Amino acid sequence: MRTTVSVIKADIGSLAGHHVVHPDTMAAANRVLAEAKRQSIILDYYITNVGDDLELIMTHTRGELDQKVHEVAWNAFKEATNVAKELGLYAAGQDLLSDTFSGNLKGMGPGMAELELEERPSEPIAIFMADKTEPGAFNLPLYKMFADPFNTPGLVIDPTMNEGFKFEVLDVYEGKAVELSCPEEIYTLLALIGTPARYVVRKVRRKKDNMLGSVTSIERLNLIAGKYVGKDDPVLVVRLQHGFPALGEALEAFSFPYLVPGWMRGSHYGPLMPVSQRDARATRFDGPPRLIGLGFNVKNGKLTGPSDLFDDPAFDEVRRTASVITDYMRRHGPFMPHRLEPTEMEYTTLPTIVEKLKDRFKKEEDVTKAKRSIYVGKGEETD
């Protein structure tokens, strides 16, 4: 059976700041998805949240970018936004950049990762969802899962993985994509995806048979809206086992709390902390950036699960390290490299501040002269 797993998410408002989705908004989304299931538009669904992001996990047979499925998601976000407005939740409708739905959700604000697959007899998948970061945050773990034998021994010992994987990398500034074949082009791949703000791994395919192994959401809200309107908190769907990474290989990629852009006001680097569903709430400095992982099996379009993958003492040390890094990074205050670099700040309010100061900026010689006149008196400049 050909099934599509669509994970579509949006921040439609949250409790007490950019903190956590309110259950009443999830209930509103649930009513819309339950009706869509009754009408057989979708076959099954699961609703969850990470921090202030409402996550709709849906299965169907309609393929990617399907108008009806996207309309269901849009209506769910709209209904949830109405509840958010009634309750006066913070930033109600934050990620919905348009008022009317037209065709599909591309460019409208919500993020989506849709993976169409021919169901194997057993189809295990993991869905990773993060808050307070952006799509390129999955570059590093995707590299580890699908290209690094120190993370994924299957690349060495499983003949079906041995040929390697192809990475489809999108340049989010130019809107162009390139496919790189690994292991041969690993260095070229790393040259690009080491700049995660610009180059995002969108899809990974198994070389042997072109089978799709993972899909990442690639929407960057600030590039759509032209200004900072919240982070593009990303989602990632990964197929597991039988020629794809084992569940434990996929999870191992998150055993190091690497630095990602996002966090407070979308303007700081911080460690990505894998947490349980219970701890999927943004708190300290609106973070630190959080990741949840849910494991499912898909059979005839039905979702069995989930298992809350990071709800496990095996990840306690990772979380502890992330907390230590949090302290370390915070001590930089408003300084880089805790604060993002200027190119990334271009899409925030920082240019407005620089613009306001335009007339107060003096040419360097003038400043030097003025300064010298204080110390050596006018006309007495010496070198």
Residues that bind Mg ion (CB under 5 A): 11, 18, 51-53, 91, 131, 230-231, 233
Q: By C-beta, is 91 or 212 nearer to ligand 13P?
A: 91
The item of ligand 13P, Mg ion, none sharing an interface with residue 248, based on CB under 5 to 8 Å by kind, is ligand 13P
Determine whether 358 is an active site residue: no
Determine whether 209 is an active site residue: no
Q: By C-beta, is 203 or 220 nearer to ligand 13P?
A: 220
The item of ligand 13P, Mg ion, none sharing an interface with residue 155, based on CB under 5 to 8 Å by kind, is none
Residue 248 found at the interface with ligand 13P (CB under 6 A): yes
CB closest to ligand 13P, residue no: 230
Determine whether 11 is an active site residue: yes
From 5, 26, 92, 246, residue interacting with ligand 13P (rule: CB under 6 A): 246
From 3, 8, 10, 11, residue interacting with ligand 13P (rule: CB under 6 A): 11
Considering only CA atoms, which of 234, 91, 105 is closest in space to residue 172?
Answer: 234
Compute φ and ψ for 87, nearest 5 degrees.
-85, -5
Residue 286 found at the interface with ligand 13P (CB under 6 A): yes
The item of ligand 13P, Mg ion, none sharing an interface with residue 185, based on CB under 5 to 8 Å by kind, is none
Annotation-wise, does 90 bind a ligand? yes
Residue 231 found at the interface with ligand 13P (CB under 6 A): yes
Region of 195-203, 229-237, 355-363, 364-372 interacting with ligand 13P (CB under 6 A): 229-237
Catalytic residue (one of 78, 203, 231, 269): 231
Annotation-wise, does 52 bind a ligand? yes
From 9, 28, 52, 193, residue interacting with ligand 13P (rule: CB under 6 A): 52
CA distance 61 to 70: 13
Q: By C-beta, is 111 or 274 nearer to ligand 13P?
A: 111
Residue 288 found at the interface with ligand 13P (CB under 6 A): no
Site for ligand 13P in 164-203 (CB under 6 A): none
Annotation-wise, does 120 bind a ligand? no
The item of Mg ion, ligand 13P, none sharing an interface with residue 289, based on CB under 5 to 8 Å by kind, is none
Q: How many residues bind ligand 13P (CB under 6 A)?
A: 16
From 164, 196, 213, 266, residue interacting with ligand 13P (rule: CB under 6 A): 266
Dihedral sign, Cα of residue 186, residue 231, residue 8, residue 220:
negative
Q: Nearest approach, Cβ of 233 to ligand 13P (angstroms)?
A: 5
Site for ligand 13P in 122-141 (CB under 6 A): 131-132
The item of Mg ion, ligand 13P, none sharing an interface with residue 265, based on CB under 5 to 8 Å by kind, is ligand 13P
Residue 228 near residue 353 (C-beta atoms within 8 A): no
CA distance 202 to 141: 13
CA distance 160 to 20: 41
CA distance 214 to 177: 16
Catalytic residue (one of 9, 11, 45, 143): 11
What HEC string does the chain produce?
A: CEEEEEEEEECCCEECCCCECCHHHHHHHHHHHHHHHHCCCCCEEEEEEECCEEEEEEEECCCCCCHHHHHHHHHHHHHHHHHHHHHCCECCCCCCCCCCCCCCCCCCCCEEEEEEEECCCCCEEEEEEEECCCHHHHHHHHHHHHHCCCCCCHHHHCCCCCCCEEEEEEECCCCEEEEEEECCCHHHHHHHHCCCCCEEEEEEEECCCCCEEEEECCCCHHHHHCCCCCCCCCEEEEECCCCCCCHHHHHHCCCCCCEEEECHHHCEEEECEECCHHHCCCCECCECCEEEEEEEEEECCEEEEEEECCCCHHHHHHHHHHHHHHHHHHCCCCCCCCECCHHHHCCCCHHHHHHHCHHHCCCHHHHHHHHHHHHHCCCCCCC
- Give the annotated binding-site residues for dihydroxyacetone phosphate: 18, 132, 265, 286
- Give the annotated binding-site residues for Mg(2+): 11, 18, 52-53, 94, 131, 231-233
What residue ranges bind ligand 13P (CB under 6 A)? 11, 18, 51-52, 94, 131-132, 230-231, 233, 246, 248, 264-266, 286
- Catalytic residue set: 11, 228, 231
